Every structure is written in structure tokens, then in C-alpha cells.
Amino acid sequence: MGSKDKGESHFHRGTSFFVLSIYVFYIYSYSVAVLEFSFVTELAEKLYKILHALSVVFF
């Protein structure tokens, strides 16, 4: 009976580690996506300001 309990707890520990690693992967992916979106948005805003300044100068 003791041997069976050890096997089940080892399986449970492996399963919980797997689930935890999936959570970490998704949290990391989400944070990277948010940072990339922020970078792209900021870049677009800077390009808009530059183009606006150029259009004021030329037109």
C-alpha cells in the first residue's frame, strides 16, 4: 500500500509540474505579446508624428 501511494504522489507531482509549466508558458507568451504590441503602437505613434511634422513643413 505504501508503494502505491508513492507512485500516485509521484504521478501527481509530475502532472502538477506539467500544468504549472503550461501556465508559465502562457503567461510568458501573453507578456511578450503585450510588450510587442506596446512597442509597435509606440513606433506607429512616432512615425505619425514625424510624418505630420513633414507634412506641415512641405504643405
Whether 45 maps to a domain, the answer reads: yes
Whether 6 maps to a domain, the answer reads: no
Confidence of residue 2 (pLDDT cuts 50, 70, 90): very low
Whether 5 maps to a domain, the answer reads: no
How confident is the model over 3-49, as pLDDT tens digits?
Answer: 455 555 555 677 888 888 898 898 889 889 999 999 999 999 999 99
Q: What is the pLDDT of residue 1?
A: 46
Whether 52 maps to a domain, the answer reads: yes
Q: What is the pLDDT of residue 41?
A: 94
Task: Using DSSP, state whether 34 is helix, strand or coil.
Answer: helix
Whether 15 maps to a domain, the answer reads: no
For 50, the grid coordinates are: 514625424
Whole-angstrom Cα distance, residue 37 to residue 11?
39
Q: What is the pLDDT of residue 14?
A: 73
Count the helices and strands in the chain (H runs, E runs).
1, 0
Q: What is the pLDDT of residue 15?
A: 82
Q: What is the pLDDT of residue 55?
A: 86
| Number of folded domains that form the chain | 1
> Could you list the residue range(s) of the whole structural domain that residue 53 is in?
31-58
